[in-house]
Amino acid sequence: MSDERGFGTRAVHAGLNPDPTYGSVIPAIHQTSTYVQERPGEFVEDYDYARSANPTRAALEQALGELEGGHAVAFASGLAAEHALITQTCQAGSHVVMPADLYGGTYRLVDKVLARWGLRFDLVDQTDLAALERAVTDETTLIWIETPTNPLLNVVDIAGVVARRRKALVAVDNTFATPANQRPLELGADFVVHSTTKYLGGHSDVVGGVAIARDERWYESLRFVQNSVGAVPGPFDCFLVHRGLRTLHLRMDAHARSAEAVVELLRATPEVSDVRWPGFSGMVSFRHTQATELAASTELFTLAESLGGVESLIEVPQAMTHQSVEDSAAAVPPDLVRLSCGVEDPLDLVADLRAALAACARAAEGVRL
Ligand SMILES: Cc1ncc(COP(=O)(O)O)c(C=O)c1O
């Protein structure tokens, strides 16, 4: 689909061609592990075995590539996509510059898995471009950006990092922003990764990931590792993510409206401090001395890990999603609360949080009396 069409048009149509056999507007889900061959070695396109290729996966990859402006390779999870990207671009001894505030699982992958194979890394606050410039040397192979960051929602200037990259490749985890708000390849990054589990799938019913390369050579390299390691998503999971993509633009607008309403309440609540929202997307974080009690007191905001689905979630990162950064330079404060604002009626979300905040205030008052 032409790049000149609006993002919403591309989100609805990307990667979808009606089924040539029966004309179904949505192509069939190819739930198969293998494909018939006329004679040994004679098969349709590259469809010989489903780890190597699957039409449902190919349709999703085409759509994701179109929306980010590159060539996409789908994986079974966001972390599988990250692992593929880092292991293909780096080798033992390579130096990677990581953000000082990032998803705990990404830190665990680098610190506990890849460091054992000789990867070297430094954590740096990437909102400070001078600090980033000091951390990047001619030996740096990869700069890993996450923006907005999880869970502190810091926003990194992607073009500013690209301008200071020296010889390094630049990869951006675009999970929190999505291509509806930010397209890193257009800002000079070499790669984008997503946990498609989150906003792209959008309905909390699938785990998946994708790595997208600007350059076709790197795309081939990612496809090679996709097949060699085999962390591929199943056809039904690909179908679910693809279906989610079709409403991405609508959902992202609704998530932002919910977040805006919630932020207004939080900023007017004396017990709440350090309210963070990048001004787009549905992710909000803030500090509250009774973080644990608050997270256990909401009704509409479900207490659960993950984010980006149509329903609102609340969590305490230090005790949940970010346990793997405990005692590291990327550790998060224990009183931090993270919200994933869904697409419910914003007034109901505000009322739910207001009631939970009031319950916490009453409990604190009771303790003081
Ligand atoms: C920013 C970010 N990147 C990557 C991941 C990993 O994705 P997955 O859980 O699909 O492996 C997550 C998961 O929460 C995340 O928040």
Helix (H, G, I), strand (E, B) or coil at 10: helix
Residue type for position 100: A
> 103 catalytic, yes or no?
yes
Cβ(317) – ligand 1 distance below 6 Å: no
**Model confidence at 363, in pLDDT bands (50, 70, 90)?**
very high
Q: State residue 369's pLDDT score.
A: 66
Cβ(173) – ligand 1 distance below 6 Å: yes
**Model confidence at 368, in pLDDT bands (50, 70, 90)?**
confident
Taking only the tens place, the pLDDT of each residue in 86-138 is 999 999 999 999 999 999 999 999 999 999 999 999 999 999 999 999 999 99
Cβ(79) – ligand 1 distance below 6 Å: yes
In which residue ranges of the chain is CATH 3.90.1150.10 found?
249-368
pLDDT higher than 70, residue 2: no
pLDDT higher than 80, residue 325: yes
CATH of 249-368, one of 3.20.20.370, 3.40.50.300, 3.40.50.11540, 3.90.1150.10: 3.90.1150.10
Atom of ligand 1 nearest to the CA of 175: 1
Instruction: For ligand 1, pick from 197, 313, 324 the residue to mutate: most ligand atoms within 8 Å of CB.
Output: 197
Mean local confidence (pLDDT), 17-27: 92
Distance (Å) from CA 79 to ligand 1 centroid: 6
Report the chain's C-alpha Rg in angstroms.
Answer: 21
Taking only the tens place, the pLDDT of each residue in 327-342 is 888 899 999 999 999 9
> 112 catalytic, yes or no?
no
Peptide bond into 334 cis (omega under 30): no
Mean pLDDT of the chain: 96
> 183 catalytic, yes or no?
no
pLDDT higher than 80, residue 65: yes
Distance (Å) from CA 231 to ligand 1 centroid: 15
Q: State residue 53's pLDDT score.
A: 98
What CATH number is given for 7-246 in this structure?
3.40.640.10
Cβ(315) – ligand 1 distance below 6 Å: no
Peptide bond into 148 cis (omega under 30): yes
- In 37-161, DSSP assigns E strands to 71-75, 95-99, 120-124, 140-146
Residue with CA at minimum distance from ligand 1 atom 15:
103
Q: Which of 72, 16, 26, 368 is nearest to 218 (CA)?
A: 72
Among residues 10, 165, 198, 338, which one is catalytic?
Answer: 198
In which residue ranges of the chain is CATH 3.40.640.10 found?
7-246
- Rounded Cα gap, residues 220 and 233, in angstroms: 18
Among residues 49, 51, 215, 287, which one is catalytic?
Answer: 51
Among residues 101, 111, 173, 352, which one is catalytic?
Answer: 173
- Rounded Cα gap, residues 71 and 220, in angstroms: 9
Tell how far CA 151 is from the center of its chain: 12
Mean local confidence (pLDDT), 46-62: 98
Instruction: For ligand 1, pick from 152, 172, 195, 320 the residue to mutate: most ligand atoms within 8 Å of CB.
Output: 195
Token code pair at residue 34 = 């293998």
Q: State residue 4's pLDDT score.
A: 82
